[in-house]
C-alpha cells in the first residue's frame, strides 16, 4: 500500500473553527513542506525539492518540526522552522516500509507508527537527549499492530491487530519499556462480536485512551451498525462493555475522550456519547471542535494541513 493511500485514509474532513492569528500551520504543496500563518501566507520553507506526501508534527513548544518524506519513506528528520536540519535518522525496524504517523509525547519524546503490511504496523516511542540527536535515541516503548494510541502519560500503547488465519480482530495493550518480542509482553483482548453481528465485524476510527489511562474506547462495525466498545482497566486484566450506537449513521473517523464522554468524529461532525448514562445516546453534534484540515494559501489554493501549533490556543 502506498504512502499516498495510507495518508488519505488518515485525513479527516471535520467541522472546524477559525484558527487564531497566532496559530501556525504545517502545510504541504507540490513544492515541499512549509510553515504558514492562519491567513494562508507562507512564513518559511521546511523542506523543498523533497518528494511528498509528508507526515509531520510540531514539537510541543513549536520550535522544532519532526517530519518524514515519501522517499526515503523510513527517514525521520528534525528541523527548525526555517528548515535547518537538527538531526535525522532511519527507522531501524527492518519490516517497516514507510512512516505513516508520527507525533510528540512531550518535549523530548517522539513516537512513530510504521507500515509493515496489510493491517500490520510497528510503533515506537523514543526518548531523545537534550540535543535532540535522533541517533542517540532510546526506545522507551514498542508495540506491533496498527492505528496505535499512546496513553496520556506515555506509559502504555494500544494497537489494533488481526490474526493471520481467521482474521479475528483484537486489541493489544503494551505497557513498560524496552524492545520486546512482539509475541510477548503485550496483553491481547479479543472482544466478542456484537450480538446479531456477522463474522466480518471490524473496528472503525482507531482507539482512544481516557485522560486517567483507565479506559480505552473503540467502535465496532458490522453491516453499517455500530457499537461503542469500552475497555476498563481492572486488577489482572480488562473488562469490556459494549453499547449500540443506533443513532449514529455515518462512519467514525476518530475517537477521543472529554471528561465522562467519548467523542466520535465523522465526516459531518463530532458527537458526544455520555458514559454516565446507561444507554449509549449519541448527543448533539459538537460544532467547531477541530482546526481546519485544509488551508487556502495565498496564490496556491487549498492545500492539506498536516499539523497546527497555536501559542495560546488548544490544538
Highest mean pLDDT among 35-49, 233-247, 254-268 belongs to: 35-49
Mean pLDDT, to the nearest integer, of 30-37? 93
- CA dist., res. 312 & res. 258, Å (int): 20
Q: What is the pLDDT of residue 283?
A: 53
Residue 17, C-beta contacts closer than 8 angstroms, at least 6 positions apart: 288, 289, 290, 291
Mean pLDDT, to the nearest integer, of 216-243? 88
Q: What is the pLDDT of residue 130?
A: 96
| Its pTM surpasses 0.85 | no
Classify residue 192 as exposed, middle or buried by CB count within 10 Å of its CB (0-12, 13-18, 19+). Answer: exposed
Q: Is residue 315 part of a domain?
A: no
For residue 19, pLDDT over 90 is answered with no
Poorest-pLDDT segment among 89-93, 200-204, 205-209, 275-279: 275-279
**Are the C-beta atoms of residues 159 and 175 closer than 8 Å to each other?**
no
CB count, 10 Å around CB of 107? 13
pLDDT in tens, 51-107: 889 999 999 999 999 999 988 889 999 999 999 999 999 999 889 999 999 999 999
Higher pLDDT, 101 or 20: 101
Poorest-pLDDT segment among 27-36, 78-87, 98-107, 290-299: 290-299
> In percent, how much of the chain has pLDDT > 90?
48
Q: What is the pLDDT of residue 300?
A: 80
Mean pLDDT, to the nearest integer, of 2-20? 42
Tell me the pLDDT band of 276, cut-offs 50, 70 and 90: confident
CA dihedral 10, 255, 204, 143 (to 10 degrees): 70
Mean pLDDT, to the nearest integer, of 140-162? 91
Tell me the pLDDT band of 43, cut-offs 50, 70 and 90: very high
Tell me which DSSP letter residue 167 carries: -
What would you measure as the largest C-alpha separation in the chain, in angstroms?
Answer: 58
Domain that holds residue 141: 3-310
Q: What is the pLDDT of residue 222?
A: 83
CATH number of the CATH domain containing 97: 2.130.10
For residue 284, pLDDT over 60 is answered with no
For residue 121, CA distances in Å to 50, 58, 257, 301 come to 25, 23, 24, 34
Instruction: Say whether the peptide bond before residue 254 is cis (omega within 30 degrees of 0).
Output: no
Domain count, the chain: 1
For residue 14, pLDDT over 50 is answered with no
pLDDT in tens, 161-194: 887 666 678 898 987 654 444 445 578 888 876 6
Higher pLDDT, 235 or 85: 85
- For all residues of the chain together, what is the average pLDDT? 83
Q: Is 127 helix (H, G, I), strand (E, B) or coil?
A: strand
Amino acid at each position: 500500500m502506498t504512502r499516498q493511500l495510507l495518508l488519505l485514509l488518515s485525513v479527516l474532513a471535520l467541522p472546524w473553527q477559525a484558527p487564531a492569528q497566532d496559530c501556525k500551520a504545517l502545510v504541504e504543496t507540490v513544492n515541499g513542506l512549509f510553515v504558514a500563518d492562519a491567513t494562508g501566507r507562507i512564513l518559511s520553507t521546511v523542506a523543498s525539492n523533497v518528494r511528498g506526501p509528508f507526515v509531520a508534527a510540531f514539537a510541543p513548544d513549536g520550535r522544532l518540526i519532526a517530519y518524514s518524506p515519501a522517499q526515503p519513506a523510513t527517514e525521520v528528520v528534525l528541523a527548525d522552522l526555517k528548515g535547518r536540519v537538527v538531526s535525522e535518522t532511519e527507522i531501524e525496524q527492518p519490516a517497516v516500509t514507510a512512516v505513516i504517523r508520527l507525533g510528540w509525547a512531550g518535549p523530548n519524546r517522539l513516537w512513530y507508527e510504521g507500515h509493515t503490511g496489510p493491517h500490520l504496523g510497528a510503533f515506537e516511542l523514543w526518548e531523545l537527549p537534550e540535543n535532540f540527536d535522533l541517533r542517540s535515541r532510546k526506545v522507551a516503548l514498542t508495540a506491533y499492530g496498527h492505528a496505535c494510541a499512546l496513553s496520556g502519560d506515555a506509559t502504555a500503547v494500544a494497537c489494533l491487530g488481526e490474526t493471520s488465519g481467521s482474521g479475528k480482530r483484537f486489541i493489544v495493550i503494551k505497557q513498560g519499556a524496552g524492545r520486546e518480542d512482539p509475541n510477548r509482553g503485550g496483553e491481547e483482548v479479543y472482544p466478542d462480536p456484537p450480538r446479531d453481528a456477522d463474522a466480518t465485524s471490524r473496528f472503525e476510527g482507531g482507539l482512544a485512551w481516557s485522560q486517567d489511562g483507565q479506559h480505552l474506547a473503540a467502535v465496532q462495525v458490522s453491516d453499517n451498525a455500530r457499537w461503542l466498545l469500552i475497555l476498563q482497566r481492572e486488577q489482572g486484566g480488562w473488562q469490556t462493555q459494549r453499547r449500540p450506537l443506533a443513532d449514529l449513521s455515518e462512519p467514525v473517523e476518530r475517537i477521543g475522550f472529554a471528561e465522562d464522554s467519548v467523542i466520535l468524529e465523522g465526516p459531518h461532525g463530532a458527537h458526544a456519547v455520555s458514559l454516565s448514562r446507561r444507554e449509549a445516546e449519541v448527543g448533539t453534534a459538537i460544532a467547531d471542535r477541530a482546526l481546519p484540515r485544509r488551508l487556502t494559501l495565498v496564490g496556491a489554493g487549498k492545500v492539506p494541513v498536516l499539523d497546527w501549533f497555536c501559542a495560546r490556543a488548544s490544538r
